[in-house]
Chain A
Amino acid sequence: MLSPTLITVALAAAMIGALAGVLGSFLVLRGQSLLGDVIAHASLPGVVAAFLISGGRGFFAILAGALIAGALAGLSVQALRRGAGVKPDAALGVVLSLFFAAGVVLLTLAQTRGGSAGLTVFLFGQAASVLRADLVPMALVGGGVLVVLALLWKEFQFLAFDPEGARAQGLPVARLEVLLTLLIAVTIVLGLTLAGVVLMVALLIAPAVAARQWVRGLAPMVWLAALFGALAGTGGAVISAIGQGVATGPVMVLAAVALAALSLLLAPERGILARRNRQAQARKSLRGRQVLAALGGLGADHANPGYAGDQAMLDAYLGADAGPVLARLQREGYVRPVALAPEPGARRWELTEAGRQRLEAPDA
């Protein structure tokens, strides 16, 4: 199983997954996920053009072509928004489709000419097409991206949280934004052979969304997103190697999205289950306090703190069956049932000492 190809693919997938998780964190926090999708799709015409011009799948030629196309797309979005007053999401959607369509047209043209086998790799990605020779430039470029990010860490943090505040302190926010977008574009281009232009955005966003659920700070989020990305990458590579011929990119994406879904569901503070649980707890404790307060109130009305309230009266007062709540309160030692002589069929309850104390406590 551990063929050299698999090792190459797994290494590349781990690297790209981690890098995408790191940069994707900034995309997600700045609410720019769609921009990542636009850059990915828009790189296709650049990739094909670079292929046609350079006559091969050379790493740096492809990188340059994709970056140029991505930059043109970014400028088009700006022009549509500022120049023509198009709303941001519409501008992003139009530019994405335009560049992707242009890319597909170029791609089909290139294929009719022949000699361009392997270009479709860039649509959905094909991990097996990653060569050992690609690993070193991939690591160098990816490492470069991370170094820039680490050097400008506090600036990018400020930018992501409060761009206006950052500008007020004199940080060159516009230039930092361009630089951050450039780093994201480079990351996307590095991942194209693995995930393809269509699915790349998921590798950026899913690990970041997953990581956000578990952390309280930006640095932990970025580290965890890198870990999740690397896990999804290697996991996808290994799974697709076991299932002979299953495309690696989509499996990586599925793995990343699965991590995100689990995190959304299970994270201790922010997860859906934890929130549900907190709400249920709050409702339960509110219910319990309501019943205790009603019992206490009945006692006060009768000027008898030891007064035993009829369960049917509590039902009527609360507009719901008080039985389960009373049973729980009894288990917790706050109330106890009382039998009264003339009413053998009725269930009456009185507050215990603990119940009275709980009722008087300011908040529980």
Chain B
Amino acid sequence: MKNLHEPHIACHVEDLTVSYRERPVLWDIDLDIPPGVMAAVVGPNGAGKSTLIKAILGLVPPVAGHVRVFGQPVAEARRRIAYVPQRQSVDWDFPATVRDVVLMGLYGTLGWLRRPGRAEKAKAQAALEQVGMQDYAARPISQLSGGQQQRVFIARALVQEADLLFLDEPMAGVDAVTEAAIVSLLKAQRDAGRTVVVVHHDLQTVARYFDWLVMLNQRIIAQGPVAEVYTEDNLRAAYGGQLALIGTLRLADDA
């Protein structure tokens, strides 16, 4: 391997700046996520949480900065990265079965002209078992509930057996049972040595679910172990006007 830059960091971001129509959405992001953590990215609406993930993955072009994943540029590390987009980003009325969607997780590594075969289908089935959807493989995706859609998307990421997982709001709009299942699933991934990065919207559960925290509001407000970063001052800096609400959340969480 040549030119490894910060190889001991799962996801290293330096000076990353993204702008839409001459306005910066992300400004001068320096970010390091160590391997083996389960990290949350939090921040108010419009803070650029999803954009940060997309910029790291190269889906949104940055105007400045660079990203390294285990020391490699993202284009060379694609096989070590899995991405779960927001559930609403696709049309669930698409004619496909649950198995079809999970198999798509293998399309990147399968190579041109190759169709998924028996081995791939077995992998997809195993991933569906991990998310508790093994009985739904032949179901058309248009018949799934929101929580089931989310599990299928997560299965599509698990089947990639990636070292670094990005999930964009996986707990948004799912029922409590599904949320608990997703959290324990992601913790199991972390315990297996993988690095999990989750865009999260619920401040109340941050401390319970995650061990690493990135607070974002166009700039990085704070990053580090949850216990160090999850402070009133940082929340105030990140959320500003929504402070009154946050104060009550803090109390509720401490109680």
In the complex, A32 Cα to B110 Cα: how many Å?
28
Q: Tell me if A171 counts as interface (CB < 8 A to partner B).
A: yes
Q: Which secondary structure characterizes the binding site on chain B?
A: mixed
The CB with the most chain A CB atoms within 10 A, among B78, B94, B115, B140, is that of B94
23 contacts between A and B (CB under 8 A): A29-B94, A151-B113, A154-B104, A154-B115, A160-B94, A162-B104, A164-B54, A164-B85, A165-B156, A166-B104, A167-B57, A167-B58, A168-B57, A168-B78, A169-B105, A169-B108, A170-B108, A171-B107, A216-B97, A217-B95, A217-B140, A218-B94, A221-B95
| Bitwise interface map of B from 31 to 62 toward A, beta carbon under 8 Å scored 1, else 0 | 00000000000000000000000100111000
Chain B residues contacting A155 (CB-CB under 8 Å) are 107, 112
Chain A residues contacting B96 (CB-CB under 8 Å) are 157, 161, 217-218
Contact present for B97 and A162 (CB under 8 Å): no
| Bitwise interface map of A from 31 to 54 toward B, beta carbon under 8 Å scored 1, else 0 | 100000000000000000000000
In the complex, A160 Cα to B91 Cα: how many Å?
10
Q: Tell me if B252 counts as interface (CB < 8 A to partner A).
A: no
CB of A277, distance to nearest CB on chain B (Å): 17
A161 with B81: in contact, given A154-B110, A218-B95 (CB under 8 Å)?
Answer: no
Chain B residues contacting A215 (CB-CB under 8 Å) are 95
Q: What residue in chain A is nearest B84 (Cβ atoms)?
A: A165
Chain B residues contacting A221 (CB-CB under 8 Å) are 95
In the complex, A157 Cα to B101 Cα: how many Å?
10
| Bitwise interface map of B from 99 to 142 toward A, beta carbon under 8 Å scored 1, else 0 | 01100110111101101100000000000000000000000100
B contacts with A, residue count (CB < 8 A) = 31
Contacts A153-B115, A154-B107, A216-B97 given; 7 further ones with Cβ under 8 A? Answer: A31-B91, A151-B113, A152-B112, A162-B104, A169-B107, A217-B97, A220-B95
In the complex, A216 Cα to B139 Cα: how many Å?
8
Chain B residues contacting A220 (CB-CB under 8 Å) are 95
The chain B residues found within 8 Å of chain A, CB to CB, are: 54, 57-59, 75, 78, 81, 83, 85, 89-91, 94-97, 100-101, 104-105, 107-110, 112-113, 115-116, 140, 156, 160
In the complex, A32 Cα to B56 Cα: how many Å?
29
Contact present for B90 and A162 (CB under 8 Å): yes
Contact present for B59 and A161 (CB under 8 Å): no
Contact present for B101 and A161 (CB under 8 Å): yes
A167 with B59: in contact, given A154-B116, A212-B95, A215-B95 (CB under 8 Å)?
Answer: yes
CB of A152, distance to nearest CB on chain B (Å): 8
| Bitwise interface map of A from 195 to 232 toward B, beta carbon under 8 Å scored 1, else 0 | 00000000000000000100111101100000000000
CB of A272, distance to nearest CB on chain B (Å): 15
In the complex, A154 Cα to B109 Cα: how many Å?
12
Q: What residue in chain B is nearest A173 (Cβ atoms)?
A: B59
CB of B250, distance to nearest CB on chain A (Å): 35
Closest 6 CB pairs of A and B: A169-B108, A170-B78, A168-B83, A216-B140, A162-B90, A221-B95
- Give which listed residue, B94, B113, B116, contacts A161 with CB less than 8 A: B94
In the complex, A153 Cα to B107 Cα: how many Å?
11
In the complex, A220 Cα to B108 Cα: how many Å?
24
Q: What residue in chain A is nearest B21 (Cβ atoms)?
A: A85
CB of B83, distance to nearest CB on chain A (Å): 4
CB of B144, distance to nearest CB on chain A (Å): 12
Contact present for A161 and B78 (CB under 8 Å): no
Q: What residue in chain A is nearest B101 (Cβ atoms)?
A: A161
Contact present for A165 and B113 (CB under 8 Å): no
Chain B residues contacting A216 (CB-CB under 8 Å) are 95, 97, 140
The CB with the most chain B CB atoms within 10 A, among A153, A157, A166, A170, is that of A170
Contact present for A162 and B85 (CB under 8 Å): yes
In the complex, A315 Cα to B58 Cα: how many Å?
64
